[in-house]
């Protein structure tokens, strides 16, 4: 019988991924296991060139848990799309759902994926020193990494797939200026500035305000860390402090908190406050229909996840590197009339 990765794995008592790592001289395999696999491969008469169609590559995918589970579900949809595209390929997706988006859990999950012998990782990491250090450790060990939605700065990994975040912020600012006609004050509510998607949207929004001559002293930035309660508190304080507040840009997911604050305004404070936000979540769809939101800047979240997985598969299976280190998906503007 012809020796295959499957037959070697069965005889050695290890996974096909581990056998593939040994036969391709990849790191992170116990020395004793490596010697056992090599011995069994030799005993079975394995020939590497004849086995290319049986290669078992493993891609690890981390699904973070957002406070708004819409984004977790959109990630799952992206994974399912990728699975359908890969159903005829000999690639295994090792998918783990996280319980949070904490640095500690990201690092623990990355390490467990590495120990499980995956050849590459797809994830949405916070952009901070701890994760940069973890990425550098993984890359030094031969891991291939593609990120989606949130990009890690200062680390030379394979590719990032996501929305053009600065452009998204600029679009939001342009829409806001059109409805304000140059009048009033703007509050920008962001989440955690460690996440690229939050920081770069704010950067783009503020850049366009400055280009259009909107005074710096007439807008404020408040960090809500994606907490609905804190968002409601920050918006309520801004309404109370600034009688001329006319626009709110929600660069984070906690739109519910913004609406709670607007609902709680005293009658004398109920001036028209225009709200622009991101992502066509079920809540934002309802708010658009009720004309409580002026615009939603939407991104194709499942496509980010799917394309990140397929980009990594192209590199691992076919050796094809992406054309650019950053690949953008489409951005859409949704109005009340469209829903």
Q: What is the mean pLDDT of the chain?
A: 89
Tell me where in the chain the CATH 1.10.260.40 domain(s) lie: 5-53
pLDDT in tens, 193-213: 777 777 899 999 999 999 999
pLDDT in tens, 87-112: 777 788 999 999 998 999 999 999 99
Confidence at residue 329, expressed as pLDDT on a 0 to 100 scale: 92
Tell me where in the chain the CATH 3.40.50.2300 domain(s) lie: 57-163+301-329, 165-299
Domain spanning 5-53, CATH class: mainly alpha
Band of residue 217 on the pLDDT scale cut at 50, 70, 90: very high
Topology classification of domain 57-163+301-329 = Rossmann fold (3.40.50)
- Say whether pLDDT at 242 is over 50: yes
Contacts within 8 Å (CB) and 24+ apart, 82-90: 82/305, 82/306, 82/309, 82/310, 82/313, 85/306, 85/310, 86/309, 86/310, 86/313, 89/313, 89/317, 90/53, 90/54, 90/55, 90/56, 90/57
Confidence at residue 207, expressed as pLDDT on a 0 to 100 scale: 98
Topology classification of domain 165-299 = Rossmann fold (3.40.50)
């Amino acid at each position: 019988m012809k020796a295959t990765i499957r037959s070697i794995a069965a005889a050695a008592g290890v996974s096909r991924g581990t056998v593939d790592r040994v036969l391709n001289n990849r790191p992170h395999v116990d020395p004793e296991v490596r010697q056992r696999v090599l011995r069994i491969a030799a005993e079975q008469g394995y020939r590497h060139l004849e086995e290319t169609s049986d290669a078992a590559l493993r891609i690890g995918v981390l699904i973070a848990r957002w406070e708004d589970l819409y984004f977790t579900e959109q990630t799952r949809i992206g994974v399912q799309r990728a699975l359908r595209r890969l159903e005829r390929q000999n690639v295994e997706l090792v998918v783990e759902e996280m319980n949070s988006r904490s640095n500690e859990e990201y690092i623990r999950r990355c390490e467990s994926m590495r120990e499980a012998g995956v050849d590459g990782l797809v994830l949405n990491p916070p952009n901070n020193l701890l994760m940069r250090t973890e990425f550098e450790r993984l890359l030094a060990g031969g891991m291939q990494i593609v990120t989606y939605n949130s990009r890690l700065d200062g680390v030379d990994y394979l590719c990032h797939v996501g929305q053009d975040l600065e452009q998204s912020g600029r679009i939001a600012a342009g829409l806001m200026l059109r409805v304000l006609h140059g009048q009033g004050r703007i509050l920008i509510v962001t989440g955690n500035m460690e996440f690229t998607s939050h920081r770069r949207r704010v950067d783009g929004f503020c850049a366009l305000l400055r280009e259009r001559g909107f005074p710096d002293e007439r807008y404020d930035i408040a960090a809500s860390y994606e907490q609905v309660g804190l968002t409601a508190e920050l918006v309520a304080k801004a309404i109370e402090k600034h009688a001329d507040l006319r626009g709110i840009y929600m660069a984070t997911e906690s739109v519910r908190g913004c609406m709670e604050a607007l609902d709680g305004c005293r009658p004398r404070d109920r001036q028209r406050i225009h709200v622009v936000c991101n992502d066509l979540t079920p809540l934002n769809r309802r708010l658009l229909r009720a004309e409580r939101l002026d615009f939603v800047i939407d991104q194709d979240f499942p496509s980010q996840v799917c394309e990140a997985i397929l980009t990594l598969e192209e590199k691992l299976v076919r050796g094809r590197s992406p054309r650019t280190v950053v690949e953008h998906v489409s951005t859409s503007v949704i109005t009340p009339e469209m829903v």
